[in-house]
């Protein structure tokens, strides 16, 4: 295979925080085993052996580590992982690393490792102190100060990082304040992750709604486009992906084309799943200890997962050829029976986005932490 990407859960759903909206905690509670513990060395080795057996001699390979909180695996786990990659990879194979963290465990040793191995770090930060601490808590205490300290460490060690903000119902009401916060702190690469309701519910007190999706992105886009016109480009995941689509290029975010590609999510026991949103028993596609990667991708459960039907609202949508209904899990935050907030946003922003493509505004190539 020419391009491979793996989302590795080295400590399963384990985390030292108790974030109210955590989608992976919700997923874990809906399967037979909520937490598989820390990944054993033999599982990591089996994964790498399978990867490099399947990869072409000049393949691009990405390992992204998430949780839970992946730093709980400990620095020695990642040092051993990187050493094994160095031993197994062929000279022309390109290996990239990314990790998503709440930042609370970061120290100089971690930052030195990230810098040495060019690890892209996604730091979870939901804006200013009051907003961030609303849902991201540890024993009823906020974590904002710890996260800002971690960001300073990353900068001091020249580590490439993105800011990952969960776009909750509350945060979506403050687009201007969030934009100003990012600018005040010099955050040039941000990913706004739509806040989901639990699997068994349509909405929750914190999940995003179609109306709020539209209102937030319309207001945020107005501020963003002003900066673009002044040659100040803030990399925002959704906008970057739309610009790539308008150029006829493949976007980096899974699901934005409306197709479910097999994502190779690897739980800490080695179990393989097609998607981070569906790490559930019914979508278990084998284990790296005894399953070939191609066999996992082509198994009946993976094919059943990939099957999808577009909502009725998509039939008459002018953006259907570009969107195809988008991600079937994220769709719940921008679409209901009567409206699609994503369509409304595109109707508003599409003309300006086309202008950005035509003038070729100076943009840096984006690296994303999450697919």
Residue pair 127/87 in contact (Cβ under 8 Å)? The answer is no
Tell me the pTM: 0.95
Q: What is the pLDDT of residue 370?
A: 60
Q: What is the pLDDT of residue 356?
A: 92
Asked if pLDDT for residue 43 goes beyond 80, the answer is yes
Q: What is the pLDDT of residue 284?
A: 98
Q: What is the pLDDT of residue 140?
A: 78
Q: What is the mean pLDDT of the chain?
A: 95
Please indicate whether residue 247 or residue 8 has the higher confidence score (pLDDT): 8
291 pLDDT band, cuts 50/70/90, is: very high
Q: What is the pLDDT of residue 139?
A: 83
Question: 138-162, pLDDT tens digit by residue?
Answer: 887 899 999 999 999 999 999 999 9
Question: 323-364, pLDDT tens digit by residue?
Answer: 889 999 999 899 999 999 999 999 999 999 999 998 875 455
Active site residues: 276
State the architecture of 160-258+309-371 in CATH terms.
Alpha-Beta Barrel (3.20)
Q: Where are the domains of the chain?
A: 160-258+309-371
């Amino acid at each position: 295979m020419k391009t491979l990407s793996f989302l590795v859960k080295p400590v399963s759903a384990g985390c030292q925080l108790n974030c109210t909206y955590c989608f992976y905690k919700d997923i874990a509670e809906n399967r037979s085993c909520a937490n598989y513990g820390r990944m054993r060395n033999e599982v990591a080795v089996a994964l790498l052996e399978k990867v490099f057996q399947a990869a072409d001699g000049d393949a691009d390979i990405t390992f992204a580590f998430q949780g839970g909180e992946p730093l709980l695996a400990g620095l020695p786990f990642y040092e051993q992982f990187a050493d094994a990659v160095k031993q197994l990879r062929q000279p022309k194979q390109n290996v990239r690393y990314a990790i998503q963290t709440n930042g609370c465990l970061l120290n100089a040793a971690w930052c030195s490792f990230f810098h040495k191995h060019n690890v892209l770090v996604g730091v979870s930060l939901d804006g200013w102190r009051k907003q961030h601490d609303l849902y991201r808590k540890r024993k009823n205490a906020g974590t904002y100060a710890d996260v800002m300290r971690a960001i300073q460490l990353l900068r001091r060690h020249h580590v490439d990082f993105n800011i990952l903000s969960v776009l909750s119902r509350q945060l979506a009401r403050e687009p201007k304040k969030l934009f100003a916060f990012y600018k005040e702190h010099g955050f040039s690469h941000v990913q706004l992750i739509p806040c989901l309701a639990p699997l068994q519910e349509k909405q929750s007190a914190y999940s995003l709604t179609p109306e709020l999706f539209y209102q937030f992105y319309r207001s945020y886009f107005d501020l963003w486009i002003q900066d673009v016109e002044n040659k100040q480009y803030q990399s925002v995941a959704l906008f970057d992906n739309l610009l790539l689509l308008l150029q006829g290029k493949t976007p980096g975010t899974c699901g934005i084309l409306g197709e479910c590609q097999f994502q190779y999510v690897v739980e800490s026991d080695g179990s393989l799943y097609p998607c981070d949103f569906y790490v559930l028993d019914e979508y278990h596609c084998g284990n790296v200890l005894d399953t070939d990667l191609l066999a996992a991708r082509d198994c009946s459960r993976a094919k059943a997962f990939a099957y999808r039907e577009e909502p009725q609202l998509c039939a008459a949508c002018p953006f259907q050829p570009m969107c195809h209904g988008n991600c079937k899990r994220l769709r719940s935050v921008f679409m209901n029976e009567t409206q699609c907030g994503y369509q409304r946003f595109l109707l508003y922003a599409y003309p300006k986005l086309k202008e950005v493509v035509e003038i070729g505004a100076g943009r840096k190539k984006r690296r994303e932490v999450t697919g």
